Amino acid sequence: MSTTTYIGLGSNLGDSRQLMAEAVHKLAQLGGVRVSRLYQSLPMGPQDQPSYHNAVAQLQTMLEPLALLDELQRFEQEAGRVRLRHWGERSLDLDLLLYGEKNIINERLIVPHVGIFHRDFVIIPLLDLNQNLEIKGHKLHDLEIVQHSTLTVLADSDWAEI
């Protein structure tokens, strides 16, 4: 049985759109993939860094959570992941946001991802993929952050060409 998972993609170093599209193609080898629109977002963290490209991918996969995490970390490394400082710029971030309905607390992994409710660059693309999504009993659509989002749409959901 496969599980519906959601993976956050972020980048603000290098050719962000290209790095993210390549990551989506690699995800597609792990199962069925759909992607949100592609967004530009203001940096959360130090403000003296470029704005981010953000998106979310929905992946239908047979992999167990830690095996999926291994793959995501491998894809980050393959993208030549650079991380210059804490909460600073990075070439590619792949975050396992949701794994079915599962709550996971592990040395390597917390799911649902801890930052979700505070990040419009995660919530808005999640809603592109599933308008009815609920996390911990909260309908994402009803969250206040949705009304106050400062994201800009860079491209429709065909940006990754999958």
102 and 111 in contact (C-beta within 8 Å)?
A: yes
Contact positions with ligand ROI (CB under 6 A) in 100-159: 121
Kindly state whether residue 50 participates in binding ligand ROI, applying the rule CB under 6 A. Answer: no
SS3 label, residue 26: helix
What backbone phi and psi angles, to 5 degrees, belong to 140? -60, -35
The owner of tokens 């809603």 is 127
Q: Give the end-to-end CA distance of the chain in Å, rounded to a whole number.
A: 23
Least CB distance from residue 8 to ligand ROI, whole Å? 7
Catalytic position from the list 34, 37, 81, 119: 81
Contact positions with ligand ROI (CB under 6 A) in 75-104: 87, 93
12 and 43 in contact (C-beta within 8 Å)?
A: yes
Kindly state whether residue 45 participates in binding ligand ROI, applying the rule CB under 6 A. Answer: yes
| Interacting residue ranges for ligand ROI, rule: CB under 6 A | 10, 41-45, 52, 54, 87, 93, 121
Catalytic residues: 81, 90, 93, 95
